[in-house]
Structure 1
Amino acid sequence: MSTERLFTPRFAALWFFQFATFFAAFQLFPVIPFRILALGGTKAEAGSFLFVYTLASATAAPIMGAIADHFGRKRMLVVVSLLFIVFSLLYAVVQWLPLVLIVGVVHGSLWSGILSSAGAIMTDYIPPSRRTEGLAYWGLAPTAAIALAPMAGLFVYKIGWLALCLDLAAISTFTSIWAMRLPHEQGRRAERPSLHLRNLWDWQVVRVSLSFTVISFGYGGITSYVAILANERHIQPESLFFTVFAIAVVITRVFTSRLGDRFGPRVLLYPALVLMPIGLALLARAFTRPQMITAAVFFGIGMGASFPAFMTLLVGATDEQNRGRTFGSAIWAFDTGIGIGSLAIGAIGQHRGLGTAFTIAAALSCLSIPIFLLTTRRFMRGIGVAENVSDAGT
């Protein structure tokens, strides 16, 4: 097993930056529907903010990643964090609903710049021989923030909408200063890739990431409708799936990520891609608390193991100078699946029931491994290198 140090000061600094950024965002997401309703919007319009935000983030992610690769990833973190202060204050004063959604589109587009840049920087901080383990712990930052932020946001909102917006602006001010203090990037300016239209998308990464799009289709439905499903089937508490899912993700990443570095990321990836369809199928048939818990455990273990293993393969098979674009392209595929899944499962659930909708999602997610095998043929050389690096640390 590798003795290279993983938990360095710069790893911790970027981890807490990511945590704070997600903590701010997930204070906003559960509360802004109430703001839209207060402005006279309908329930459908209240749900439209997260859709346009996610769609904008997904669409812009590869572009923002390529821009970060060219101009500097740390610079992207600083600039976007400063702009988030402006957005936080705009949410406080804008009262025309279409303009709120426009602000959300721009905000979401820049949000993807944070995700792709921070992920790319972190891969520079993580020793290659401990990459799967490092990415697993890195993924716990948003998990922890998402677990805590909604409750905090709803609490602050009781004081008032302005109080919440000032809270978000204060956090963004903190993250801006924090980003400025991050270590400078190691690459020289001359080594950064040129910014051309043909360089904005990594189509090989996009094709491989489609294996996760069919998984995130079901995940999008879970985030939007699993609480409604629990309510319809009289399963309490309605947040049960989310709680068990989060615990399963954390435990899986803490205790299994080293296997990916020791034996290769495929050892984690393939079983994970099998477990998630099973979890979705169990969810479709969950009518009791134990059944709901079992579904959440299967899906949580699969999600917890698959993401760090998958990103280890992608990062090892692509040029390190283009890692912002790599993360951006992967984010595009994942978030697109979430957005489409949220809409499609809602539509199917309206006419056929949510059980049928999640059964269809389970069937679709079974395509993940075939898509991965078909699309990685051109990637084989790079992926082999990635796995050899992991083996070298054992």
Structure 2
Amino acid sequence: MNASSAPLWTKSFILCLANNLFLFIFYFAQTTILPVYILNDLGGTLTEAGLAMTLFMAAAIIVRPFSGLIIEKFGVRKTLILSETFFSLFSLAYLLADNLTLLLIIRFIHGIWFSILSTVVVPVVNQFIPEKRKGEGMGYFVMSINLGIVLGPFLGLSLIQYFSYLNITALLAAMVLFGFIFCFFIPIKEPSKPKKVQSSGSIFQLSHFVEKKAVPIALLAMLISFSYASIMSFIAPFAASKNLMPYAGLFFIVFAFSMMSLRPITGKIYDQKGPQYVIYPALIAFSIGLFILSQIETLTGFLIAAVFIGLGFGSAQPCIQTLALQRAPKHRIGHATSTFYTLYDLGIAIGSTVVGLMIAAQSYSFAYICCGILSLISVFYFKFFVQARPAT
């Protein structure tokens, strides 16, 4: 069989996607409804609700650089089962969180296991994607995250109108446990390691935490996630400033469908022609969307911006992640994944802070123009620091 026609939609690949989908439905649904629970049921403040979100992400960012080392030391399968076990247990622990202190502790510990689990699922699914279909396969894998972005908040906000937070959390935890069961039916193999890797020296070597071949690409992801933070963190208040708040949800729907619309096509283009044929137009479309957003005054412009941003970011992000994995040796894919996500998460964290400061000092328009310019700069960064320096 021709390698390019090797089957992609195998049972193992589908189980990996389903497990990842349930993981991110839980994450994004909790992100949406947890502040409601803190404010209405626990008598917390907006600051405390924000702290619950921050603690989760802080734990994930702190642990992320160590995830590759954990995968190398314990193996892919054992790390998957262990992290999935604790993530599932702490998903159930929300049912016991009857006070704010306990809830914040659960959030922090849950963030640790989320960081490890969301890292190890990448080298797992990578085992079941044919070599000549990496772009297409990883595109579908990232699409399972995008579906979680859409279905999680939709499920949470729809159910919270009729059911209690604890009932919804029980349902979400059951989905996570269902995905956990899938893990036992995935035939995971441990990647072979060169002898020099098996007999490594000091514990505190930089290579134990960072895959240097993935760093230039991960820095590109950091530039993009910095700009993407302006959408994640500020699109709702921006919509309110333009009297478009009732349509903020519609923005995310259009954004999500735009992200997913070209995914099957861009994956095939990546595999057949190369990453540059996807990444260049994607970065330009992303920057165009940000420039449009900086100038909009009407609903039409708001939704057109959502289309460009969704097409650009939705095409660029999975291709850049695939490129980071392909440049790393097979036994270092876990390290490449943790390197990629560490810098990606840092871009989100730094972007949320800096964009907020720009908005406070200048305006939303100024902030989105700056993010659009940064996205254009990332085009040149890709050309001269990534494409011009292929891995050896």
Both structures adopt the same fold (TM-score exceeding 0.5): yes
CA offsets per residue over residues 271-301 of structure 1, 9 Å max, x none? 2122212211111112112211221121111
Q: Cα distance 1:45–1:340, how it changes in 2: closer, same or farther (>3 A)?
A: farther
Match of 2:15 among 8, 13, 33: 13
| Stretch deviating more after TM superposition (201-210 or 311-320) | 201-210
Q: Which residue of 2 aligns with 1:362?
A: 372
Task: Supply the distance in 2 between the matched residues of 1:59 and 1:369 (Cα, whole angstroms).
Answer: 29
Task: Supply the distance in 2 between the matched residues of 1:153 and 1:212 (Cα, whole angstroms).
Answer: 29
| Equivalent position SS for 2:32 | coil
Counterpart residue identity of residue 349, structure 1: I
Counterpart residue identity of residue 35, structure 2: P
Q: Cα distance 1:211–1:174, how it changes in 2: closer, same or farther (>3 A)?
A: same
Contact 2:213/2:328 (CA < 8 Å) preserved in 1? no
Contact 2:135/2:267 (CA < 8 Å) preserved in 1? yes
**RMSD between superposed Cα atoms in Å:** 2.3
Task: Supply the distance in 2 between the matched residues of 1:378 and 1:322 (Cα, whole angstroms).
Answer: 23
CA offsets per residue over residues 157-186 of structure 1, 9 Å max, x none? 442222133223322322222212211315
| Stretch deviating more after TM superposition (364-373 or 17-26) | 364-373
Match of 1:279 among 289, 299, 311: 289
Q: Offset at 1:264?
A: 0.8
Q: Which residue of 1 aligns with 2:243?
A: 234
Q: Which residue of 2 aligns with 1:28?
A: 30
Contact 2:285/2:308 (CA < 8 Å) preserved in 1? yes
Q: Offset at 1:18?
A: 0.7
* 2:204 is aligned with 1:197: yes
Q: Which residue of 1 aligns with 2:179?
A: 175
Task: Supply the distance in 1 between the matched residues of 2:8 and 2:49 (Cα, whole angstroms).
Answer: 42
CA offsets per residue over residues 86-134 of structure 1, 9 Å max, x none? 2123323234434433322221122121221111112221111111111
Task: Supply the distance in 1 between the matched residues of 2:193 and 2:379 (Cα, whole angstroms).
Answer: 39
Q: Offset at 1:373?
A: 4.0
Task: Supply the distance in 1 between the matched residues of 2:357 and 2:84 (Cα, whole angstroms).
Answer: 36
| Equivalent position SS for 2:308 | helix
* 2:271 is aligned with 1:261: yes
Q: Which residue of 2 aligns with 1:132?
A: 135
Task: Supply the distance in 2 between the matched residues of 1:267 and 1:131 (Cα, whole angstroms).
Answer: 15
Structure 1 runs (4+) deviating above 6 angstroms are 189-192
* 2:165 is aligned with 1:184: no
| Stretch deviating more after TM superposition (87-96 or 105-114) | 87-96
Counterpart residue identity of residue 222, structure 1: I
| Equivalent position SS for 2:5 | coil
Q: Which residue of 2 aligns with 1:111?
A: 114
| Stretch deviating more after TM superposition (324-333 or 236-245) | 236-245
Q: Which residue of 2 aligns with 1:385?
A: none
CA offsets per residue over residues 200-258 of structure 1, 9 Å max, x none? 22244234311121211121121121122122212341223211111111111122321
Within 5 A, what are the aligned runs for 1:320-359? 320-359=330-369
Q: Cα distance 1:56–1:375, how it changes in 2: closer, same or farther (>3 A)?
A: farther
Normalised to the residue count of structure 2, the TM-score between the two structures is 0.90
Q: Cα distance 1:152–1:13, how it changes in 2: closer, same or farther (>3 A)?
A: same
Normalised to the residue count of structure 1, the TM-score between the two structures is 0.89
Q: Cα distance 1:325–1:369, how it changes in 2: closer, same or farther (>3 A)?
A: same
| Equivalent position SS for 1:220 | helix
Q: Offset at 1:363?
A: 2.3
Q: Which residue of 2 aligns with 1:223?
A: 232
Contact 1:55/1:335 (CA < 8 Å) preserved in 2? no
| Equivalent position SS for 1:19 | helix
Task: Supply the distance in 2 between the matched residues of 1:148 and 1:301 (Cα, whole angstroms).
Answer: 19
Q: Cα distance 1:99–1:215, how it changes in 2: closer, same or farther (>3 A)?
A: same
Q: How many pairs align? A: 382
Q: Which residue of 1 aligns with 2:222?
A: 213
Contact 1:317/1:379 (CA < 8 Å) preserved in 2? no
Unaligned runs of 5+ in 2: none
Q: Offset at 1:143?
A: 1.2
CA offsets per residue over residues 366-388 of structure 1, 9 Å max, x none? 33133334543895134xxxxxx
Q: Which residue of 2 aligns with 1:85?
A: 88
| Equivalent position SS for 1:366 | helix
Q: Cα distance 1:190–1:128, how it changes in 2: closer, same or farther (>3 A)?
A: closer
| Equivalent position SS for 1:31 | helix
Task: Supply the distance in 1 between the matched residues of 2:296 and 2:362 (Cα, whole angstroms).
Answer: 16
